[in-house]
Amino acid sequence: MPDWLLYTGSRHPHDAVERLPPPPPWRAFDGGPVLPPPSGPSGNAHQARTYRPSDDAVQQVNAALYLRRPLLVTGPPGTGKSTLAYAVAHELRLGPVLHWPITSRTTLRDGLYQYDPLTRLYAAGRDDAPADEDIGRYIRLGPLGTALLPYGRPRVLLVDEIDKSDIDLPNDLLTIFEKGEYEIPELSRRADPSAEVMTADGPRVAVTGGTVRCHAFPLVVMTSNGEREFPPAFLRRCVSVELRQPSGEAELAAIVREHLGPLADDSDDLVRRFFERASAGTLATDQLLNAVYLCRHAGAADRRALADRVMPYLTGPADDE
Ligand SMILES: Nc1ncnc2c1ncn2[C@@H]1O[C@H](COP(=O)(O)OP(=O)(O)OP(=O)(O)O)[C@@H](O)[C@H]1O
Ligand SMILES: [Mg+2]
């Protein structure tokens, strides 16, 4: 294993991220005061602990960490794009993954922060309202906004299914990732532009001068099912990796064992059957996991028919043979 690799895909947590060298000078950020690294599990514990990444994925995760660039993960459904983020957070002890699911209605603002002026107005109108009211109680940073707080260790931000976004979002995001900072105008416009705001998943944090600036650039994992071509300016600023279905029965069987323990002989049949079927249309790894699990518990008679029913083609030939 080349020793520049911090994330190795070993599935065993360790502190190698402390060996991460300083950023290239054009990606150095100086936000502060530095916040302690978040503790706690990555989330999706089972998936994070059982993920077997491809060599390519391991290498590109490390490239993104070293270069302080977002990682764009593409590939067919079920190839482990989203799980990769949890697996890295688990192995490198980077704390809870900040999950930002994208839809066509998602805006940059949703990811950065939400400001709730109505509750604030209501509170200000009450007789017992404090004279010097605490605006930070009405500002909550979103997953993107939280990832860019000045943490001493990179947070993991999963921008899930970015290809579903409105056309402008990828470019808006790039601007933020270039600068490593954003402004909260509701704060910066005030006479006193500092406040303790709420975050996506931790205690309140002080923001000074109305601007949040990162310290350790987050590990940003952006997933895409390929429903969209991204502009060259976007691609140039990312590290990319394409995930594929495992190419051999041995690797697929290893993934099944990782999830479900030792395989019974007849589970090998299912792995083989999965491969036969996968040559004619798209299947996803987790369909095989479902089939193996179900057949273990179902009677022996119609295992193959049962397996085929829970492994329908996602694209390709219809399943009414
Ligand atoms: N290489 C792998 N090692 C272990 N488990 C895997 C691997 N690839 C996929 N899986 C399992 O398959 C399931 C699907 O993975 P995941 O949801 O990450 O796929 P995805 O590429 O994000 O799919 P989608 O495009 O539908 O969002 C998960 O339960 C995951 O644990
Ligand atoms: Mg996914």
The domain over range 16-242 is classified in CATH as 3.40.50.300: yes
Q: Is 50 in the pocket of ligand 1 (CB under 6 A)?
A: yes
Q: Is 86 in the pocket of ligand 1 (CB under 6 A)?
A: no
Check residue 103 and give left, alpha or beta (phi > 0: left; psi -120 to 50: alpha): beta
- HEC profile for 242-273? ECCCCCCHHHHHHHHHHHHCCCCHHHHHHHHH
Q: So where are the chain's domains?
A: 16-242, 249-310
Q: Is 290 in the pocket of ligand 1 (CB under 6 A)?
A: no
Assess contact for 158 and 99: CB atoms under 8 A: yes
Q: Is 8 in the pocket of ligand 1 (CB under 6 A)?
A: no
**Closest approach atom of ligand 1 to CA 52:** 3
Work out whether strand 71-74 and strand 239-242 pair parallel, antiparallel, or are unpaired: parallel
**Closest approach atom of ligand 1 to CA 161:** 27
- Taking only the tens of pLDDT, the chain with its 321 residues reads 678 999 999 999 999 999 999 999 999 999 999 999 888 999 999 999 999 999 999 999 999 999 999 999 999 999 999 999 999 999 999 999 999 999 999 999 999 999 987 777 777 776 665 555 789 999 999 999 999 999 999 999 999 999 999 999 999 999 999 999 999 999 999 999 999 999 999 899 999 999 999 999 999 999 999 878 898 989 999 999 999 988 888 899 999 999 999 877 767 788 888 888 888 888 889 899 998 888 888 866 677 788 888 888 887 776 654
**Closest approach atom of ligand 1 to CA 79:** 21
Q: Which residues of 69-96 are buried (b: 16+ CB within 10 A; e: fewer)?
A: bbbbbbbbebbbbbbbbbbbbbbbbbbb
Using the structure block, give the residue that is written with the tokens 């995930």: 243
Ligand 2 centroid, distance to 78 Cα (angstroms): 7
Whole-number pLDDT of residue 58: 98
**DSSP H or E stretch at residue 115:** strand 113-115
At residue 78, the 3 state secondary structure works out as: coil
Check residue 180 and give left, alpha or beta (phi > 0: left; psi -120 to 50: alpha): left
Whole-number pLDDT of residue 300: 63
Ligand 1 centroid, distance to 30 Cα (angstroms): 35
Q: Is 80 in the pocket of ligand 1 (CB under 6 A)?
A: yes
CA gap 79, 286 in Å, rounded: 8
Q: Is 163 in the pocket of ligand 1 (CB under 6 A)?
A: no
CA gap 17, 6 in Å, rounded: 6
Distances (CA, A) of 258 to 26, 244, 318: 40, 18, 31
